[in-house]
């Protein structure tokens, strides 16, 4: 068992190994972009399980999205840490609340509100008011901020003048609508997602027997993306822990981009104050990006609070070569090994365009050239500050005959053609087969309209790409896996929205791109008023915009191309200040 456990540590760099070997007591990991933090924490958990220090069912790994939780769960399974639970804060809290509610309160737990905007629209109408869709969304966000920062409505009302007021509302109306929203949910016997955390935290604080059962169930905690934890999530983590301190937190203050939703990097940066015996490890070896990209990222965040200084483990600029080519092809964060030289690292570029149309056409042309040169479309992304910017890029890229996937739009497993294909595969799992797995799955997909040859039309091509992505998952199955195992893997991915890779260019707002990476990244709209956004006027909001630019730049592995638009004569713009700060002017 000892030798088997030690093998989990193979391939970790010295700092990652320190993290993996620190199995008891508090530890904070300050992990820069592309430094292999997910590799470090999954190998740490697996090492704890395989060495016998952790009982897998007593480990809870928490992250912020269902997709990230699904990927974490998949990696842990691959490392032999079956039984470890990886969930979001809300997923873990909802399961616990539903389990204990009948015994503590009686009856079933309240129904979860599917979305705030529809309920708020009815509330506003009942008060003979009119608000547009954007104002309703702003109102919903303000409700979420109040709850995640753990403010009562009375305390919120005392400081409401300091908050952004949605268009069309006065401060008094904003407070009144917050009270009305609470009353509406009580009348309907509904709760929202923030209430799940509020109610569970309150239950654990007031019901010692419930807290005892939860703490008996979970002993070892890992929290990813800890820079984005809110006061409410921090309070829940504290009651989960009780008087214990077996907790590992991981984050990067430079990637705090959800302050508007109550997130604060202070919990990460002050972890040692809260846990005086905590160990701190810094991950600053960047295995993702070529050196010129790392260099401008470091320049952008120079002297910012909590900023790490990344060291590129790949090529170091013009005239140098990438001596860690194997890194990009293996698991992210793998310690580099010597290999044959590959491409020279090209410096990031910045282009300035007269109009948004010119920018979109140039970006589409660059992408078409990259695809023609052999870069898969799935390895290319266009990132922008707001979702409203996506349409022109989508149209321009499609005109070049290249598939496009708008990240954050319809989810992969919610597509009708994908749902049908999963049902067909599930049906095959109920029948005995003596054929290879690839043949069984490809035959099932053919029954759903797939063919080996890609179609010509863009609509048919989109469906073909989606079904081909399902087929590609066969290659990720362990040797000897059959249709039953593949069917269960699809269900697990469907539950966690762990999507396969689709061969299409990704379009995404920067917020939604966090945690992702591509070979070629275009960051568009880098103009003052667009990025940083026009309403970022004080130091705190501009710092948030800078961190958002840092996240955007560090999504690129090999090539980073930046662009901005001058705008018309009536509203001329200047290049984003972040271009100069990154040293690109």
Instruction: Return binding residues for ATP.
Output: 31-38
- Joined tokens for residue 500: 């396969």
Count CB atoms within 10 A of the CB of residue 180: 16
**Close Cβ partners of 200 (under 8 Å, ≥ 6 residues apart):** 93, 96, 97, 236
- Joined tokens for residue 511: 């917020």
Question: Tell me, what DSSP letter sits at residue 477?
Answer: S
29: three-class secondary structure by DSSP: strand
Rounded to an integer, what distance in angstroms lies between the CA atom of residue 84 and that of residue 78? 12
352: three-class secondary structure by DSSP: strand
- Joined tokens for residue 183: 């009353």
111: three-class secondary structure by DSSP: strand
* 558, containing H or E segment: strand 556-565
Rounded to an integer, what distance in angstroms lies between the CA atom of residue 367 and that of residue 372? 8
Question: Tell me, what DSSP letter sits at residue 273?
Answer: H
CB 579 within 8 A of CB 585: yes
Choose among 229, 285, 206: nearest CA to 89: 229
Rounded to an integer, what distance in angstroms lies between the CA atom of residue 136 and that of residue 119? 10
Rounded to an integer, what distance in angstroms lies between the CA atom of residue 152 and that of residue 236? 17
Count CB atoms within 10 A of the CB of residue 500: 18
Rounded to an integer, what distance in angstroms lies between the CA atom of residue 93 and that of residue 197? 6
CB 204 within 8 A of CB 214: yes
CB 90 within 8 A of CB 201: no
Residues that constitute the known binding site: 31-38
Rounded to an integer, what distance in angstroms lies between the CA atom of residue 382 and that of residue 404? 10
Chain centre to alpha carbon of residue 38: 12
CB 512 within 8 A of CB 389: no
DSSP string for 492-529: HHHHHT-PPPPSSEEEEEHHHHTT--EEEEEE---BTB
Q: Are strands 404-406 and 518-523 parallel, antiparallel or unpaired?
A: unpaired
Q: Is 11 left (phi over 0), alpha (psi -120 to 50) or beta?
A: left
């Amino acid at each position: 068992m000892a030798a088997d456990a030690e093998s989990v540590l193979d391939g970790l760099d010295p700092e990652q190994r320190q993290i993996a070997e620190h199995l008891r007591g508090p530890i904070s990991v300050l992990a820069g972009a592309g430094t292999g933090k997910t590799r470090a924490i999954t190998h740490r958990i697996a090492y704890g399980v395989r060495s016998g220090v952790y009982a897998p069912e007593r480990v809870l790994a928490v992250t912020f999205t269902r997709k990230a939780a699904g990927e974490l769960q998949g990696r842990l399974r691959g490392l032999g840490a079956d039984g470890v639970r990886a969930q979001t804060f809300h997923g873990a809290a909802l399961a616990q609340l539903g389990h204990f509610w009948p015994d503590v309160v009686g009856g079933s737990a309240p129904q979860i509100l599917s979305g705030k905007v529809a309920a708020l629209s009815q509330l506003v109408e009942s008060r003979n008011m009119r608000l547009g869709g954007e104002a309703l969304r702003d109102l919903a966000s303000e409700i979420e901020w109040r709850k995640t920062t753990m403010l009562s409505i009375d305390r919120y009302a005392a400081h409401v003048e300091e908050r952004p007021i949605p268009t069309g509302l006065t401060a008094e109306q904003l407070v009144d609508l917050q009270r009305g929203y609470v009353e509406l949910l009580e009348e309907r016997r509904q709760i929202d997602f923030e209430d799940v955390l509020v109610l569970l935290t309150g239950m654990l604080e007031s019901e010692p027997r419930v807290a005892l059962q939860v703490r008996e169930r979970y002993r070892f905690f890992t929290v990813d993306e800890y820079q984005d934890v809110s006061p409410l999530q921090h309070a829940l983590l504290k009651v989960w822990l009780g008087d214990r301190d077996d907790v590992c937190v991981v984050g990067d203050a430079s990637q705090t981009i959800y302050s508007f939703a109550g997130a604060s990097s202070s919990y990460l940066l002050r972890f040692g104050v809260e846990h005086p015996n905590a160990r701190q490890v810094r991950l600053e070896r960047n295995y993702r990006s070529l050196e010129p990209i790392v260099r401008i990222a470091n320049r952008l965040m120079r002297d910012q609070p909590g900023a790490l200084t990344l060291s590129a483990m790949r090529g170091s600029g013009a005239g140098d070569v990438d001596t860690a080519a194997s890194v990009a092809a293996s698991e992210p964060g793998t310690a580099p090994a010597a290999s044959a030289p590959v491409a020279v690292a090209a410096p990031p570029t910045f282009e300035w365009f007269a109009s948004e149309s010119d920018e979109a056409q140039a970006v589409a042309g660059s992408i078409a050239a990259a695809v023609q040169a052999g870069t898969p479309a799935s390895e290319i992304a266009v990132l922008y500050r707001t979702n409203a910017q996506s349409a022109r890029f989508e149209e321009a890229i499609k005109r070049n005959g290249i598939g496009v996937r708008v990240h954050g739009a319809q989810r992969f497993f919610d597509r009708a053609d994908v749902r049908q294909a999963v049902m067909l595969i599930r049906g095959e799992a109920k029948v005995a087969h003596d054929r290879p797995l690839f043949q069984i799955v490809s035959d099932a997909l053919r029954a759903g309209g797939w063919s080996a040859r890609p179609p010509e039309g863009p609509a048919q091509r989109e469906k073909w790409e989606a079904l081909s992505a399902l087929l590609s998952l066969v290659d990720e199955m362990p040797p000897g896996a059959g249709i039953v195992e593949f069917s269960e893997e699809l269900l697990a991915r469907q539950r966690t929205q762990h999507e396969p890779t689709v061969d299409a260019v990704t379009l995404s707002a920067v917020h939604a791109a966090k945690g992702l990476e591509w070979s070629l990244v275009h960051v568009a709209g880098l103009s003052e008023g667009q990025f940083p956004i026009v309403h970022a006027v004080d130091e705190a909001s501009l710092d948030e915009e800078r961190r958002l630019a840092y996240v955007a730049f560090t999504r690129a592995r090999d090539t980073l191309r930046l662009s901005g638009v001058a705008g018309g004569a009536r509203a001329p713009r200047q290049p984003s200040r972040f271009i100069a700060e990154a040293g690109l002017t």
